[in-house]
Amino acid sequence: MNRRIAATGLPSAVLFDMDGTLVDTERLWWAAVEQVADGIRRPLTAADTPHVLGRPASYTAAHLQSTGGSAACDLGTLATELDAVFADLVAHEVVPCPGVLRLLDELAAADVPAAIVTASPRHVLDLVRKALGEERFAWTVAVEDTPRTKPAPEPYLAAAAALGVDPRACVAVEDTPTGIASAEAAGCAVLAVPSTVPIPPATGRTVLDSLEQADLGLLSSLLTPAERN
């Protein structure tokens, strides 16, 4: 694939995680899992965080089932209930994270495509995309769209392939260790904006407190010259 530097030196695309990155939904996902977990008499604790945040409903449902509750629970029923409770919360409380709309508009003005890459289901993604403005996103990848989801690299690789760009020339914006592992495995440069779990800086990864601190110049600087358009 041609990876010569364009005069602009911009990323080929910016690939955004959704929950906790574009919209303030990590707290809603936790609330949904907490509600379902309480229903099977299996209260959540801080130790459950790695098995909840950044994870799809199927994974979290399996975690809840395997770690036990005093009420009988079917895996498929748990996953379906998690999706339904979360979707209902999102439908009523979609709130863009600080700086998101400004950054998306800056990308659009520079003709840099943006995509959503999420471990949430398609029906939730579509709610969020509509709330933020469908025209702001060139592509979306939901949990149903790849054989494996985060932390595997497939979601980010799928987004880059659909946009016709090299993932190494893309910046991924993430908020959880699970999502960061996915993006880094795909070869993307990573801008991390932690929502609930601290994330340390690392090679190929920049950490900010908020997307209010990010702009197109910063995103471009995350790529080495050979990785820019």
CA distance 88 to 80: 12
CA distance 185 to 180: 8
* Sign of the dihedral defined by the CA atoms of residues 207, 12, 18, 98, in that order: positive
pLDDT tens profile 113-152: 999 999 988 988 998 999 899 999 999 999 999 999 999 9
The whole-number pLDDT of residue 72 equals 63
Return the bridge partners of 15, or none.
Answer: 115, 172
Query: What's at 38, amino acid-wise?
Result: D
Structure tokens at 138: 């060139």
Question: Cβ(170)–Cβ(15) under 8 Å?
Answer: yes
Q: Please state the pTM of the whole predicted model.
A: 0.80
Structure tokens at 98: 């600080």
Query: Residue 58 is inside which H or E element, if any?
Result: helix 57-67
Q: Is the pLDDT of residue 52 over 60?
A: yes
Question: Cβ(13)–Cβ(170) under 8 Å?
Answer: yes
pLDDT tens profile 68-85: 765 667 888 899 999 899
In 68-202, alpha helices (H): 75-92, 100-109, 122-132, 154-163, 177-186
Nearest to residue 33, comparing CAs of 17, 44, 25? 44
Q: Is the pLDDT of residue 1 over 60?
A: no
The whole-number pLDDT of residue 8 equals 56
Structure tokens at 143: 């949990």
Query: What's at 44, amino acid-wise?
Result: L
